[in-house]
Chains A and B, each alone.
Chain A
Amino acid sequence: MLDTLDETPERRAQLTAGVVRRIDVRRKALSCLQATAAIGVSAGLIALAAPGIGNYPLVAWVAFAPWLASLSRLAPAAGALSGLVMGMAYIAPGRWSTFNAAIGAAGYQGATLVGYTLLFFLIFALPFALFGALDRRLHLLARGGLQRVALLRASVLASLICGIWSPFAYTPASMIVEHAPMLQLAAIGGEPLVLFVLLWPSALIAALLQSQRPMRQRIVALVPMALCLLAIAGQGYWRINSLEQAEASGAGIRLSAMPLQLDLPARASPIMLSRDRAHSSLSALELSRDSLQRAPHCELVVWPETPLQSVHQEQLCAAGPQLANKLGLPLMMQCQRRNGARNQLTAEWLRPGQTETPFHAKSSLVLLYEKPLWGEGRYSVGAPGKVFTLDAQRRLIPTICYELHSRAHLRAGVLAGGNIVVHMASFAAFARHPIDIWDQGMARLRAVEFGVPIVRASNRGPVGWIDALGRERSLSARFGHQAHCESVFSPAGAPVLHARLAPIAAWLPASMVLLLIAAGWLLSAYRPHHYLRRTHSPSSITRHNRNTQ
């Protein structure tokens, strides 16, 4: 009876529709599972490559491939969700407790603390979500060409990651700071260009994974990219060689600077810095004096950002000129100055015997920590680009902690003639989490982007200096209480290209690729007969179809 019923056309149609629905649901479930698995694999590879977590930077070059491969099958909404999950999976593991500790140190607790930490990481995931939503359109825009799709996806993702504001300037490009030749690209197009090149292999491999082409053709499709990467590496080696030769030949400038390393918790007592007891090296002053006795040739002492309460910092700063007099050398010290009803965080340029003290007010404040989300905070911002002049050749760009990642400040400083960045950092708020390791990677990118060395004095982080090629020339252990005189070299030449392009650098990769694609369209449009000839040929039709698969 039932079999008879199944034979009716209506029933057959119902059954067919049910099967189709079930197949559709199963297909969607499988697709969702695949997408989730792909994100998991990508997140695992990223963690393996990340500094301070896996430390295998080579993996970074292919880490995003599984996710990008899974993304191309998704609708915009599903793509956005996939992007959001990928963004969180890329940034949050291994870093949650670090930023949770810092936001907690700013006074937030309980649900507010968790909420802000989540918001912090969601902002990082935003470019990925946006990219996921746009991805299908990018495929349409590239008209299915493998190389075009890969270039467009890599460039748009790089531009979104670098162009959309985030509270901490970390990007996946930090994973490859050990690959010095590739890093030199930052001198031309900054971190966005490095990130574009880093994402390119992942994007191409993802496209090839989706392609129906024979394996041999897929391998051949990698050749143009490999040749480009080789060319980039060659350019990097050439740049490194040029600067090494300049340094060996005595060109450029040198500075003997003593960056201090301290190990103080938040709310340290001012006597930890200013106490002046003979034959002791427990305070910053005592340690500096003790170390200078071993290095009398040193020209400058740099103290790190100090984790003092405002009232104590003001007291310490009032004693600043005396401290420089006691050391007998120029001293760069972090202070606070009154600016109307609010304070400014300043880098003070204290010179023995000088009554006038030039200073630089921090031009980029840290959200939630130094400025609230809403209204005016305790601190007001200063102007970027202040330069302290040591002599006619040597001009120092003072930089307070996170300000190192303000490209506006570094750009203005370099264009004003600054040729050595002096960085004063404190990582005390992060409770010994590895924030200093990530910051060091980002600092190496900044050095290449602006073609200047960075001298780093640090509280609860390593001290030393990074050369203009982004290489760690001297780096202490992460924690300690020490001071050594470093001989710092700066090429001190004309500003690198990125120093001029910085304001638009984030959007250059996507713009360049889009322009190339538009140029391709125009060329096609102006060669209609040629196109028709090719498309009328049966072999060219077959070739065209194969290319678009």
Chain B
Amino acid sequence: MIQPTHRNLAMAIFMLTCTLSAPQAFGNSVDLYFPVQPPRPGAAQRAQFTAISMDMFRERMARLGDPQLAAIRQLNGTAPDSIGLLGEIAGEWTGVDGYVTYTQDFPTVGFLQILLRGYEATREATSNRYRAEWDRRIYWLNIDGDGPGIPHLLPALELTSSYVPAVNDSFPEFYSDANVIAECTATSPCALNWVPFVSYRDPVTDYSGYPEGAADADLYFVANANGDAVAVSLDLYDANGEPDGRTPMNAGDELKLSTIGYKLDEPGFVYVLGYMDFVTIDTGVSIERKYYVPGQDFVDPNLVNLNAGPRKIKFLLEAYRENGSTPSYGFGGPFNLGFTWSGVPDFLFSGNMEALVPDGTSVQAAPSAND
């Protein structure tokens, strides 16, 4: 039983404690001594993120889209061994792209859909369904430099699957490449792929004036009808972000790749994830179209504890609408494809392909459903 005197004493102590200081009322310092430490950064937290508006992203993509290329982009072909991916998004859109992704949770950022491959999606008549064909493979960059034997994911967005070099197109370097001329013909066209946000340093240029201490660059490569890369080029930007010409990759150059992520509650933005250090090109570069399982086939020290095998593979639609000077963006899905990364080669068909099973990562869904 608390006596009134004790109660008064307790009340007085309580009041004194509460009224010691109030920074928003007056004064600045208040220290509440709870034995709590801020969370320690994990591997996922150490990743470097930057968000870039989709407007800037598409402006960058459109820079190389000459009218001929834009026309070609509507004629997507089908690589061997491909499977059809189906997604759904309501509304009328200027364009819809389809991305093969998996979901990863990054503390302080949230769930991101990590891009593996990207295509322009084709609408099924006037329905809300859009389709893309995927050859079940991912592109990897293998550099015989400081990181021998470690392939790095190339999040490749396909600009066209019907590329035939022409004298007046945007890629004179490919027109002058004997491999490209031989492989990419009207009867057997190639695919042209874009990998944005590559950091590049050559051994002779002073990059001290560049924001990141390196030139921002986009990597392009041509893949033949079988999907194998036959030519590669880098599109460079200067310190102010202005286009600064193209270059082939040479021994001694340094590269740092990024991956691309999409956050479902930020449809107007693309997230660029830096996860690796610069790697020096030694004797050459190879772009591999392989079915690697990171964590099993190789271990990347920058991706500790990543076992990609059990990751569910999903299909995400990203749509844009041009409204004069203010375009709008939206996501459809992501849709579970019914298999994990380790199940990709053996996958034949699943009811999920037609039933369209959202993975629960839509903005309204509970985060626990992100797997």
Contact = CB atoms under 8 A, between A and B. Distances in A.
Interface of A: 76, 105-109, 112, 126-127, 130, 133-134, 162-166, 168-169, 263-272, 274-277, 280, 282-283, 309, 312, 315, 319, 363-364, 367, 372-375, 377, 381, 384, 405-408, 411, 431-432, 502-503, 505-506
Contacts of A431: 265
Given A264-B51, A265-B266, A407 B25 contact: yes
Given A107-B108, A312-B50, A373-B36, A169 B211 contact: no
24 contacts: A76-B11, A106-B108, A109-B39, A126-B18, A130-B14, A130-B15, A162-B25, A165-B23, A268-B51, A270-B50, A270-B211, A271-B211, A275-B240, A309-B48, A309-B50, A315-B212, A364-B24, A373-B32, A384-B28, A406-B28, A407-B24, A407-B26, A506-B25, A506-B26
A285 to B, nearest CB: 10
Contacts of A373: 32-34, 36
B25 A165 contact: yes
Contacts of B269: 265
Nearest to B48: A309
Which interface residue of A109, A373, A405 has the most chain B CB atoms within 10 A? A373
Contacts of B26: 407-408, 411, 502-503, 506
- Sort A-B residue pairs by CB-CB distance and give the 3 closest, nearest first: A269-B50, A165-B22, A169-B24
Interface string B264-306: 0110110110000000000000000000000000000000000
Nearest to A262: B53
A364 B23 contact: yes
A384 to B, nearest CB: 7
A267 B50 contact: yes
A277 B242 contact: yes
Contact of A277 (B23, B36, B241): B241
Contacts of B94: none
Contacts of B55: 282
Contact of B51 (A169, A265, A275): A265
B52 interface: yes
The DSSP consensus for interface residues of chain B is loop
A377 B36 CA distance: 12
A372 B36 contact: yes
A411 B25 CA distance: 11
B210 to A, nearest CB: 10
B211 A165 contact: no
Contacts of A276: 240-241
A59 B70 CA distance: 59
Contacts of A112: 39
Contacts of A169: 24-25
A312 to B, nearest CB: 7
B272 A374 contact: no
B24 A406 contact: yes
Interface in B41-62: 41, 45, 48-53, 55-56, 59
B214 to A, nearest CB: 12
Nearest to B325: A281
A319 B20 CA distance: 43
B59 A109 contact: no
A189 to B, nearest CB: 13
B7 interface: yes
Nearest to B240: A276
B107 interface: yes
Q: Name, among B24, B53, B109, the residue most crowded by chain A CB atoms within 10 Å (CB to CB).
A: B24
A277 B266 CA distance: 24
A364 B51 contact: no
A105 B56 CA distance: 25
Nearest to A76: B7
A126 B23 CA distance: 16
B30 interface: yes
Contacts of B263: 265
Contacts of A126: 18
A364 B24 CA distance: 8
Residue picked from A107, A126, A269, most chain B C-beta under 10 Å: A269
B361 to A, nearest CB: 16
